[in-house]
Amino acid sequence: MNQPSPYTIFITYRREDSQDTVGRIYDRLKDRFGRDAVFKDVDSVPAGYSFPSYINHVLGQCRVVLVVIGPIWATVIEKEGVDVGQPRLNDPEDRVRIEVEWALELSPVDAVGRPTSDLLLIPLLVQDSRMPAPEQLPESLRNLTKRNARQIHRDPDFEHDIQRLMSAIAQWMGTTAAPVPIFAPPTAGKLPPLGPAPAPANSVSAYHLTPMRLYNLGYRGYSVNGVECILPPICPVPAGVFTMGSDKNFDEQAYDDETPQYPVEVDGFAIGQHPVTVAEYACAVRANAVREPPLWEYRDWKVDWVKQRLHFDHPVVCVSWNEACVYTSWLAKVVGQPWRLPTEAEWEKAARGSDGRTYPWGDRFDTSCCNTAEIDIGATTAVGSYPSGESLYHAQDTAGNVWEWTSSLYVPYPYRKSDGRENLDSIDENRVLRGGSWVDSSRSARVAYRSGSRPGYFSVGDVGFRLALAAGGSA
């Protein structure tokens, strides 16, 4: 007897609702992950097999379920039999209902909304559809409406949307389209691919450093000559011109220090997909490369290193610019790779893209895309909690969660890399912080917003940093 293929991605959909779009999605997924990795609903059930039993078997081995929802997904009606005229989802034997019920059962989430199993359920809204209202669904499916959905728009946006989806799937499964290369200084201008950073030369994998949640996001632990470290997933940002700063004619929230708006050219580089986590920073603390972040207390808030270590997948906080630079220098030396802080221009391009948007995801603020004061969580959130808020280049958490140090001095625009603002030897001039935080409002989460502070400033529970990786093998 032939054994079923080892599927990892399950697609459930209705033929009447979205068959053509599903065909395009399926083709792109199988090209990226392999034909045998993608299960396409009834099309993949072998002839003569029991449908419920086989579906249960496949869902039990998959890592991702895509529930494709088109304009009539919830309202397709029965055309024959005793239930003629009734929505198919009302029938407990409806195959789509069975698939989604089982997928919801196998992919529980915790109180914060994070998946607690190895199965990730993603609703896909296609053909300009919206998530059905809970009252349109049977009770057993209503939790589907609480899951954050991805939009797959029509052309010309289809390719951009499907690339974002495949990136999210690859990170969840801890894989990439091709094996991650061992690091060697690349040719000038060449960037590593999206996903886990290149493995250091002469390194040994240290899986114990990256619990499954971080591993699934693309983090990798290594031991290099006996020194343990973690490298983050990275996003390549191609060389080219982008729009930097704000124009008060188009953004009423803009401050004077964000102006004038002008084109800036940035060399290609890669940026960490997330802020540096507690798990990463703890490696440097254990190696005595950096000190433990100090205690921060303010009113009812208190953060110390003991408390931070309880949340290994949260951004590290209470880190000064000086300490962030020490960390990047230590990491670069350990792994032999040009890690550093991003410049202010690099940070803004990675967060903004090349089309002048106001927030990483677009021009309108959306509380589902970031952790700011508007949602009143009152603390940092785990990295990867807001994938819908990622930028054009797939960087996440560039709005809210924690402020992020850049290498640049906080001086007026226009930005010119050669005007002295990238002088790393200045010991007391303010350095630029970007991105806003869980404490601050949406105005601070705009991609052009700037703040600055002394390089020795560390005692705040919403200040962290993000890594950059230079192209061409030089820092």
Q: Specify the pLDDT at position 6.
A: 56
Mean pLDDT value across residues 270-284: 98
Q: Specify the pLDDT at position 34.
A: 77
Matching CATH topology for 9-172 and 195-473? no
Q: Are 369 and 399 in contact (CB under 8 A)?
A: yes
Q: Specify the pLDDT at position 465.
A: 97
Q: Specify the pLDDT at position 224.
A: 95
Query: Beta strand pairing status for 403-409 and 262-266?
Result: unpaired
Mean pLDDT value across residues 75-86: 80
- Residue 200: strand, helix, or coil: coil
Q: Are 319 and 284 in contact (CB under 8 A)?
A: no
Q: Give the DSSP per-residue string, 309-328.
A: TT-TTSBP-S--HHHHHHHH
Distance (Å, whole) CA 317 – CA 308? 8
- Predicted confidence (pLDDT) at residue 186 exceeds the cutoff of 90: no
Percent of the chain with pLDDT over 70: 93
In the DSSP assignment, the letter for residue 455 is T
CATH of 9-172, one of 3.40.50.10140, 3.40.50.1860, 3.30.43.10, 1.20.120.1770: 3.40.50.10140
Domain spans, the chain: 9-172, 195-473
- Predicted confidence (pLDDT) at residue 177 exceeds the cutoff of 50: no
Q: Specify the pLDDT at position 223.
A: 96
Average pLDDT of the chain? 88
**Each residue of 307-328: pLDDT tens digit?**
999 999 999 999 999 999 999 9
First-to-last CA distance in the chain? 57
pTM exceeds 0.85: no
Distance (Å, whole) CA 291 – CA 124? 45
- Predicted confidence (pLDDT) at residue 63 exceeds the cutoff of 60: yes
- Predicted confidence (pLDDT) at residue 60 exceeds the cutoff of 70: yes
Q: Specify the pLDDT at position 44.
A: 74
Q: What is the CA radius of gyration of the chain?
A: 23
| Number of C-beta neighbours around residue 25 at 10 A | 25
* Cis-peptide into 414, omega within 30 deg: yes
- Residue 60: strand, helix, or coil: helix
**Each residue of 282-310: pLDDT tens digit?**
999 999 999 999 998 877 788 999 999 99
Describe the chain by its helix, strand, coil percentages, rounded to 5: 30, 20, 50
* Residue 459 pLDDT grade (very low, low, confident, very high; cuts 50, 70, 90): low
**Each residue of 135-153: pLDDT tens digit?**
999 999 999 999 999 999 8
Beta strands in 38-186, from DSSP E residues, in sequence order: 38-40, 64-69, 120-126, 150-152
> Who has greater pLDDT, 181 or 334?
334
Query: Beta strand pairing status for 403-409 and 463-465?
Result: parallel
Distance (Å, whole) CA 460 – CA 310? 18
| Residue type for position 286 | R
- Residue 206: strand, helix, or coil: coil
Distance (Å, whole) CA 438 – CA 432? 18
Distance (Å, whole) CA 37 – CA 13? 17
- Domain 195-473's class? alpha beta
> Who has greater pLDDT, 80 or 22?
22
| Number of C-beta neighbours around residue 180 at 10 A | 17
CB neighbour class for 43 (10 Å; exposed up to 12, middle 13-18, buried from 19): exposed
Percent of the chain with pLDDT over 90: 65
* Residue 179 pLDDT grade (very low, low, confident, very high; cuts 50, 70, 90): very low
CB neighbour class for 35 (10 Å; exposed up to 12, middle 13-18, buried from 19): exposed
Say how many residues make up the chain: 475
* Residue 472 pLDDT grade (very low, low, confident, very high; cuts 50, 70, 90): low
Mean pLDDT value across residues 184-203: 74
**Each residue of 345-385: pLDDT tens digit?**
999 999 999 888 999 999 999 999 999 999 999 999 999 99
